[in-house]
Amino acid sequence: MATEPDQAPLADNTAQPRKRRIAHLDMDAFFASVELLHYPELRGQPVVVGGRGIDQPVAQADGSRRFARLRDYAGRGVVTTATYEARALGVFSAMGLMKSAQLAPDAILLPANFDAYRDYSRRFKAAVAGIAPLIEDRGIDEIYIDLTDIDEDSLPLARRIKQAVRDATGLSCSIGITPNKLLAKICSDLDKPDGITLLDMADLPARIWPLPARKINGIGPKANERLAQLGIKTVGELAATAPERLLRHFGQSMGSWLCQVAHGIDDRPLKTSREPKSISRESTFQRDLHARADRAELSEIFTGICLRVAEDLARKGYVARTIGIKLRYADFASVTRDITLATPTADGQLIRKAAGECLKRVPLTQRIRLLGVRASTLLPFADVPARQISLQAELPL
Protein backbone atom coordinates (compact mmCIF):
# COMPACT_ATOMS: atom_id res chain seq x y z
CA MET A 1 0.00 0.00 0.00
CA ALA A 2 1.32 3.38 -0.95
CA THR A 3 2.11 5.73 1.85
CA GLU A 4 1.58 9.48 1.93
CA PRO A 5 4.80 11.47 1.62
CA ASP A 6 6.03 13.25 4.70
CA GLN A 7 4.25 16.59 5.03
CA ALA A 8 6.55 19.56 4.42
CA PRO A 9 6.90 21.94 7.32
CA LEU A 10 4.70 25.01 7.13
CA ALA A 11 6.49 28.10 5.81
CA ASP A 12 6.77 31.06 8.17
CA ASN A 13 4.97 33.80 6.28
CA THR A 14 5.19 36.28 9.11
CA ALA A 15 6.36 39.54 7.51
CA GLN A 16 9.40 41.02 9.10
CA PRO A 17 9.32 44.79 9.53
CA ARG A 18 11.52 46.54 7.02
CA LYS A 19 14.49 48.51 8.18
CA ARG A 20 13.57 52.17 8.06
CA ARG A 21 15.40 54.19 5.39
CA ILE A 22 14.96 57.96 5.26
CA ALA A 23 16.79 60.15 2.76
CA HIS A 24 17.40 63.87 2.84
CA LEU A 25 18.06 65.38 -0.59
CA ASP A 26 19.58 68.85 -0.73
CA MET A 27 20.24 70.63 -4.01
CA ASP A 28 23.82 71.93 -4.23
CA ALA A 29 24.02 75.75 -3.98
CA PHE A 30 20.63 75.71 -5.67
CA PHE A 31 20.00 79.33 -6.71
CA ALA A 32 23.61 79.84 -7.77
CA SER A 33 23.63 76.54 -9.68
CA VAL A 34 20.52 77.56 -11.62
CA GLU A 35 22.25 80.83 -12.52
CA LEU A 36 25.30 78.93 -13.80
CA LEU A 37 23.04 77.03 -16.19
CA HIS A 38 22.22 80.39 -17.77
CA TYR A 39 25.77 81.74 -17.51
CA PRO A 40 28.07 78.73 -17.94
CA GLU A 41 31.09 81.02 -18.44
CA LEU A 42 30.95 81.74 -14.70
CA ARG A 43 31.59 78.13 -13.64
CA GLY A 44 34.51 77.86 -11.23
CA GLN A 45 34.25 81.52 -10.21
CA PRO A 46 32.97 83.05 -6.97
CA VAL A 47 29.39 84.12 -7.73
CA VAL A 48 26.99 85.80 -5.31
CA VAL A 49 23.23 86.00 -5.90
CA GLY A 50 21.39 88.96 -4.38
CA GLY A 51 21.03 92.68 -4.75
CA ARG A 52 18.93 94.55 -7.30
CA GLY A 53 17.56 94.10 -10.79
CA ILE A 54 19.93 96.80 -12.08
CA ASP A 55 22.79 94.33 -11.55
CA GLN A 56 21.69 92.30 -14.58
CA PRO A 57 24.47 91.10 -16.93
CA VAL A 58 25.00 93.39 -19.93
CA ALA A 59 25.53 91.98 -23.44
CA GLN A 60 28.70 93.27 -25.14
CA ALA A 61 29.25 93.99 -28.83
CA ASP A 62 31.48 90.92 -29.20
CA GLY A 63 28.76 88.62 -27.83
CA SER A 64 30.27 88.31 -24.36
CA ARG A 65 28.58 89.54 -21.18
CA ARG A 66 29.71 92.08 -18.63
CA PHE A 67 28.83 91.13 -15.05
CA ALA A 68 28.52 93.34 -11.98
CA ARG A 69 31.17 92.89 -9.31
CA LEU A 70 30.49 92.73 -5.61
CA ARG A 71 32.93 95.57 -4.93
CA ASP A 72 30.68 97.98 -6.88
CA TYR A 73 27.57 97.24 -4.84
CA ALA A 74 26.13 99.95 -2.58
CA GLY A 75 23.01 99.32 -0.53
CA ARG A 76 21.51 97.23 2.22
CA GLY A 77 20.75 94.03 0.31
CA VAL A 78 21.66 90.58 1.57
CA VAL A 79 23.13 87.48 -0.04
CA THR A 80 20.49 85.05 -1.29
CA THR A 81 23.06 82.34 -2.00
CA ALA A 82 26.63 81.91 -3.23
CA THR A 83 28.66 79.37 -5.17
CA TYR A 84 31.04 77.13 -3.28
CA GLU A 85 33.95 79.24 -4.58
CA ALA A 86 32.39 82.31 -2.93
CA ARG A 87 31.67 80.37 0.26
CA ALA A 88 35.35 79.46 0.44
CA LEU A 89 36.00 83.21 0.73
CA GLY A 90 33.61 83.51 3.68
CA VAL A 91 30.44 84.62 1.86
CA PHE A 92 27.21 82.92 2.97
CA SER A 93 23.46 83.40 2.59
CA ALA A 94 21.74 86.10 4.69
CA MET A 95 25.03 88.02 4.97
CA GLY A 96 24.91 91.71 4.06
CA LEU A 97 26.21 92.37 0.55
CA MET A 98 28.36 95.27 1.76
CA LYS A 99 30.09 92.96 4.25
CA SER A 100 30.42 90.29 1.55
CA ALA A 101 32.12 92.85 -0.70
CA GLN A 102 34.86 93.24 1.90
CA LEU A 103 35.51 89.49 1.84
CA ALA A 104 35.19 88.87 -1.90
CA PRO A 105 35.31 92.20 -3.81
CA ASP A 106 35.95 90.53 -7.18
CA ALA A 107 33.06 88.07 -6.90
CA ILE A 108 30.40 88.23 -9.62
CA LEU A 109 27.07 89.68 -8.44
CA LEU A 110 23.83 88.42 -10.02
CA PRO A 111 20.25 89.44 -9.15
CA ALA A 112 17.92 86.64 -8.07
CA ASN A 113 15.66 85.01 -10.67
CA PHE A 114 12.91 83.43 -8.60
CA ASP A 115 10.75 82.35 -11.55
CA ALA A 116 13.63 80.11 -12.66
CA TYR A 117 14.23 78.77 -9.14
CA ARG A 118 10.57 77.79 -8.75
CA ASP A 119 10.64 76.06 -12.14
CA TYR A 120 13.73 74.00 -11.30
CA SER A 121 12.32 73.21 -7.86
CA ARG A 122 9.22 71.70 -9.43
CA ARG A 123 11.36 69.75 -11.89
CA PHE A 124 13.62 68.07 -9.35
CA LYS A 125 10.75 67.17 -7.02
CA ALA A 126 8.76 65.63 -9.86
CA ALA A 127 11.82 63.62 -10.92
CA VAL A 128 12.25 62.21 -7.40
CA ALA A 129 8.53 61.48 -7.04
CA GLY A 130 8.73 59.31 -10.15
CA ILE A 131 11.05 56.97 -8.22
CA ALA A 132 10.06 57.46 -4.58
CA PRO A 133 6.67 59.15 -4.11
CA LEU A 134 6.70 59.46 -0.30
CA ILE A 135 8.20 62.94 0.01
CA GLU A 136 8.16 65.60 2.70
CA ASP A 137 8.68 69.00 1.08
CA ARG A 138 11.03 71.07 3.22
CA GLY A 139 11.46 74.07 0.96
CA ILE A 140 12.44 75.16 -2.49
CA ASP A 141 15.68 73.14 -2.53
CA GLU A 142 15.35 70.23 -0.09
CA ILE A 143 13.11 67.24 0.60
CA TYR A 144 12.94 64.16 2.82
CA ILE A 145 12.18 60.85 1.08
CA ASP A 146 10.93 57.60 2.65
CA LEU A 147 12.76 54.75 0.90
CA THR A 148 11.74 52.02 3.34
CA ASP A 149 9.43 50.09 1.01
CA ILE A 150 11.54 50.35 -2.15
CA ASP A 151 13.20 47.03 -3.05
CA GLU A 152 16.59 48.37 -4.05
CA ASP A 153 19.87 48.75 -2.22
CA SER A 154 20.57 52.23 -0.92
CA LEU A 155 23.64 53.06 -3.01
CA PRO A 156 22.21 52.24 -6.47
CA LEU A 157 18.91 53.83 -5.43
CA ALA A 158 20.65 57.05 -4.40
CA ARG A 159 22.56 57.09 -7.69
CA ARG A 160 19.34 56.58 -9.63
CA ILE A 161 17.61 59.44 -7.82
CA LYS A 162 20.59 61.75 -8.36
CA GLN A 163 20.68 60.89 -12.07
CA ALA A 164 16.94 61.55 -12.39
CA VAL A 165 17.44 64.97 -10.80
CA ARG A 166 20.36 65.71 -13.12
CA ASP A 167 18.41 64.58 -16.20
CA ALA A 168 15.45 66.79 -15.23
CA THR A 169 17.42 69.89 -14.24
CA GLY A 170 21.08 69.63 -15.24
CA LEU A 171 21.90 70.16 -11.56
CA SER A 172 23.60 68.10 -8.87
CA CYS A 173 22.28 67.27 -5.43
CA SER A 174 23.57 65.58 -2.29
CA ILE A 175 21.78 62.75 -0.51
CA GLY A 176 22.06 61.27 2.96
CA ILE A 177 20.32 57.93 3.63
CA THR A 178 19.98 56.89 7.26
CA PRO A 179 17.42 55.36 9.65
CA ASN A 180 15.75 58.72 10.40
CA LYS A 181 15.27 62.38 9.46
CA LEU A 182 17.70 63.73 12.05
CA LEU A 183 20.66 61.78 10.73
CA ALA A 184 19.65 62.12 7.07
CA LYS A 185 19.69 65.91 7.38
CA ILE A 186 23.20 65.83 8.84
CA CYS A 187 24.50 63.32 6.32
CA SER A 188 23.31 65.14 3.20
CA ASP A 189 25.76 67.89 4.14
CA LEU A 190 28.79 65.68 4.85
CA ASP A 191 29.96 65.06 1.29
CA LYS A 192 28.80 68.16 -0.59
CA PRO A 193 28.65 68.87 -3.42
CA ASP A 194 27.24 65.97 -5.44
CA GLY A 195 27.64 63.55 -2.55
CA ILE A 196 26.06 60.35 -1.27
CA THR A 197 26.35 59.44 2.40
CA LEU A 198 24.95 56.15 3.74
CA LEU A 199 24.88 55.69 7.48
CA ASP A 200 23.63 53.07 9.96
CA MET A 201 23.38 53.48 13.71
CA ALA A 202 26.63 51.54 14.08
CA ASP A 203 28.40 54.36 12.17
CA LEU A 204 27.39 56.98 14.74
CA PRO A 205 30.65 57.03 16.75
CA ALA A 206 32.86 57.37 13.67
CA ARG A 207 30.80 59.70 11.47
CA ILE A 208 28.50 61.75 13.72
CA TRP A 209 30.06 62.04 17.17
CA PRO A 210 33.18 63.94 15.99
CA LEU A 211 30.99 66.68 14.45
CA PRO A 212 30.32 70.01 16.18
CA ALA A 213 27.12 69.90 18.26
CA ARG A 214 25.65 72.72 16.15
CA LYS A 215 25.44 70.29 13.19
CA ILE A 216 22.32 68.83 14.82
CA ASN A 217 19.29 70.53 13.32
CA GLY A 218 17.60 72.24 16.26
CA ILE A 219 20.73 73.25 18.17
CA GLY A 220 20.84 76.96 17.42
CA PRO A 221 23.45 79.57 18.32
CA LYS A 222 22.16 80.11 21.86
CA ALA A 223 21.91 76.40 22.72
CA ASN A 224 25.33 75.82 21.17
CA GLU A 225 26.80 78.61 23.29
CA ARG A 226 25.27 77.16 26.46
CA LEU A 227 26.65 73.72 25.60
CA ALA A 228 30.09 75.22 25.02
CA GLN A 229 29.93 76.84 28.45
CA LEU A 230 29.42 73.34 29.84
CA GLY A 231 32.46 72.10 27.92
CA ILE A 232 30.34 70.30 25.32
CA LYS A 233 31.49 71.09 21.79
CA THR A 234 30.93 67.90 19.78
CA VAL A 235 28.02 65.51 19.33
CA GLY A 236 30.12 62.81 20.98
CA GLU A 237 30.72 64.95 24.06
CA LEU A 238 26.98 65.59 24.18
CA ALA A 239 26.30 61.84 23.98
CA ALA A 240 28.75 61.22 26.83
CA THR A 241 27.12 63.82 29.10
CA ALA A 242 25.01 62.47 31.95
CA PRO A 243 21.29 62.99 31.23
CA GLU A 244 20.82 64.49 34.69
CA ARG A 245 23.27 67.26 33.85
CA LEU A 246 21.46 68.14 30.64
CA LEU A 247 18.10 68.10 32.38
CA ARG A 248 19.46 70.37 35.10
CA HIS A 249 20.77 72.96 32.67
CA PHE A 250 18.19 72.77 29.87
CA GLY A 251 15.00 71.59 31.53
CA GLN A 252 12.98 68.43 31.01
CA SER A 253 11.91 68.91 27.39
CA MET A 254 15.11 70.30 25.85
CA GLY A 255 17.37 68.17 28.05
CA SER A 256 15.59 64.95 27.08
CA TRP A 257 15.71 65.92 23.41
CA LEU A 258 19.46 66.59 23.57
CA CYS A 259 20.02 63.15 25.11
CA GLN A 260 18.10 61.48 22.30
CA VAL A 261 19.54 63.32 19.32
CA ALA A 262 23.11 62.87 20.53
CA HIS A 263 22.52 59.13 20.20
CA GLY A 264 20.86 59.50 16.79
CA ILE A 265 17.35 58.78 18.05
CA ASP A 266 14.54 60.34 16.03
CA ASP A 267 11.14 58.70 15.45
CA ARG A 268 9.48 61.57 13.58
CA PRO A 269 7.46 60.40 10.57
CA LEU A 270 7.56 62.12 7.21
CA LYS A 271 4.84 64.71 6.80
CA THR A 272 3.81 64.31 3.21
CA SER A 273 1.14 67.02 3.46
CA ARG A 274 1.96 70.01 5.62
CA GLU A 275 1.21 73.71 5.48
CA PRO A 276 2.58 75.79 8.37
CA LYS A 277 0.41 78.62 9.61
CA SER A 278 3.30 80.84 10.63
CA ILE A 279 7.06 81.07 11.01
CA SER A 280 8.50 82.97 13.94
CA ARG A 281 11.65 83.72 15.89
CA GLU A 282 12.08 85.31 19.29
CA SER A 283 14.84 86.22 21.70
CA THR A 284 14.79 86.39 25.49
CA PHE A 285 17.43 88.83 26.69
CA GLN A 286 20.10 88.14 29.29
CA ARG A 287 18.95 91.36 31.00
CA ASP A 288 15.87 93.49 30.52
CA LEU A 289 16.50 96.15 27.87
CA HIS A 290 15.06 99.66 27.56
CA ALA A 291 13.94 100.97 24.17
CA ARG A 292 15.85 104.22 24.57
CA ALA A 293 18.80 103.48 26.85
CA ASP A 294 19.58 100.23 24.98
CA ARG A 295 18.40 101.32 21.55
CA ALA A 296 21.51 100.24 19.62
CA GLU A 297 21.58 96.76 21.19
CA LEU A 298 17.83 96.28 20.71
CA SER A 299 18.04 97.41 17.09
CA GLU A 300 20.79 94.92 16.31
CA ILE A 301 18.86 92.07 17.95
CA PHE A 302 15.62 93.10 16.23
CA THR A 303 17.27 93.18 12.80
CA GLY A 304 18.90 89.79 13.41
CA ILE A 305 15.55 88.22 14.31
CA CYS A 306 13.95 89.61 11.14
CA LEU A 307 16.78 88.28 8.97
CA ARG A 308 16.45 84.83 10.55
CA VAL A 309 12.70 84.82 9.89
CA ALA A 310 13.46 85.72 6.26
CA GLU A 311 16.01 82.91 6.06
CA ASP A 312 13.48 80.44 7.52
CA LEU A 313 10.87 81.54 4.97
CA ALA A 314 13.29 81.11 2.07
CA ARG A 315 14.55 77.76 3.34
CA LYS A 316 11.02 76.39 3.76
CA GLY A 317 9.78 77.85 0.48
CA TYR A 318 7.18 80.39 1.67
CA VAL A 319 6.39 84.07 1.43
CA ALA A 320 4.30 85.95 4.00
CA ARG A 321 1.52 88.51 3.76
CA THR A 322 1.41 89.34 7.48
CA ILE A 323 4.28 90.40 9.73
CA GLY A 324 3.85 90.73 13.48
CA ILE A 325 5.84 91.37 16.63
CA LYS A 326 5.62 90.13 20.19
CA LEU A 327 6.96 91.97 23.23
CA ARG A 328 7.16 90.69 26.78
CA TYR A 329 7.89 93.35 29.35
CA ALA A 330 9.86 93.02 32.58
CA ASP A 331 6.60 92.44 34.49
CA PHE A 332 5.81 89.51 32.10
CA ALA A 333 2.92 91.34 30.46
CA SER A 334 2.87 90.65 26.71
CA VAL A 335 1.67 92.60 23.71
CA THR A 336 1.42 91.74 20.01
CA ARG A 337 0.89 93.78 16.88
CA ASP A 338 0.81 92.84 13.19
CA ILE A 339 0.54 94.43 9.77
CA THR A 340 -0.68 93.06 6.43
CA LEU A 341 1.51 93.78 3.42
CA ALA A 342 0.28 94.79 -0.04
CA THR A 343 2.38 92.01 -1.57
CA PRO A 344 3.87 88.89 0.07
CA THR A 345 7.56 88.82 0.87
CA ALA A 346 10.44 86.72 2.15
CA ASP A 347 12.90 89.61 2.18
CA GLY A 348 14.62 90.44 5.47
CA GLN A 349 14.66 94.17 4.84
CA LEU A 350 10.94 94.35 4.13
CA ILE A 351 10.20 92.16 7.14
CA ARG A 352 12.36 94.47 9.28
CA LYS A 353 10.56 97.54 7.96
CA ALA A 354 7.10 96.02 8.55
CA ALA A 355 8.05 94.80 12.03
CA GLY A 356 9.39 98.29 12.77
CA GLU A 357 6.00 99.76 11.86
CA CYS A 358 4.40 97.34 14.32
CA LEU A 359 6.88 98.38 16.97
CA LYS A 360 5.77 102.01 16.65
CA ARG A 361 2.29 100.97 17.79
CA VAL A 362 3.26 99.59 21.22
CA PRO A 363 4.27 101.40 24.43
CA LEU A 364 8.05 101.40 24.90
CA THR A 365 8.26 103.00 28.34
CA GLN A 366 8.89 99.71 30.21
CA ARG A 367 11.92 97.49 30.02
CA ILE A 368 11.64 94.55 27.63
CA ARG A 369 12.63 90.94 28.40
CA LEU A 370 11.57 89.26 25.14
CA LEU A 371 11.21 90.34 21.52
CA GLY A 372 9.79 88.20 18.71
CA VAL A 373 8.89 88.50 15.04
CA ARG A 374 6.25 86.38 13.29
CA ALA A 375 5.46 85.87 9.61
CA SER A 376 1.98 84.52 8.84
CA THR A 377 -0.62 84.30 6.07
CA LEU A 378 1.92 82.11 4.31
CA LEU A 379 1.85 81.22 0.64
CA PRO A 380 4.03 78.57 -1.05
CA PHE A 381 6.83 80.39 -2.82
CA ALA A 382 6.42 78.23 -5.92
CA ASP A 383 2.75 79.22 -6.32
CA VAL A 384 3.19 83.00 -6.36
CA PRO A 385 4.20 84.80 -9.58
CA ALA A 386 7.45 86.72 -9.18
CA ARG A 387 5.79 90.04 -10.03
CA GLN A 388 3.56 89.65 -6.96
CA ILE A 389 6.46 89.13 -4.53
CA SER A 390 8.35 91.93 -2.82
CA LEU A 391 12.02 90.93 -2.77
CA GLN A 392 15.36 92.62 -2.14
CA ALA A 393 13.97 96.15 -1.90
CA GLU A 394 16.45 98.84 -1.01
CA LEU A 395 14.81 100.19 2.13
CA PRO A 396 16.37 101.97 5.11
CA LEU A 397 16.37 99.96 8.31
pLDDT tens, position by position, for the chain (397 residues)? 444 444 545 555 555 667 899 999 999 999 999 999 999 999 999 999 987 777 788 988 988 999 999 999 987 778 888 999 999 999 988 788 889 999 999 999 998 888 889 899 999 999 999 999 999 998 889 999 999 999 999 999 999 999 999 999 999 999 999 999 999 999 999 999 999 999 999 999 999 999 999 999 999 888 999 999 999 999 999 999 999 999 999 999 999 999 999 999 999 999 886 667 889 998 888 788 988 889 899 999 999 999 989 988 887 888 999 999 999 888 878 899 999 998 899 888 899 999 999 999 998 888 998 999 999 999 887 666 655 555 543 333 3
pLDDT score for 15: 54
Neighbours of 346 (CB within 10 A): 31
Using an 8 Å Cβ cutoff, are 329 and 367 in contact? yes
Query: Residue 365: what pLDDT?
Result: 87
- The answer to whether 172 and 33 have CB atoms below 8 angstroms apart is yes
pLDDT, position 16 = 61
Query: Considering only CA atoms, which of 269, 203, 191, 267 is closest in space to residue 235?
Result: 203
Q: Is 15 helix (H, G, I), strand (E, B) or coil?
A: coil
Q: What is the model's pTM?
A: 0.69
* b/e burial code for range 314-335 (CB count within 10 A of at least 16 → b): bbbbbbbbbbbbbbbbeeeeee
Which positions are annotated as active-site residues?
Answer: 142
For residue 356, the model assigns a pLDDT of 93
The alpha carbon dihedral of 35, 39, 43, 48 has a sign of negative
| pLDDT at residue 385 in the model | 60
Strands 142-146 and 196-198: unpaired
What is residue 50's predicted lDDT score, i.e. its pLDDT?
Answer: 85
Nearest-CA neighbor of 307 among 276, 349, 353?
349
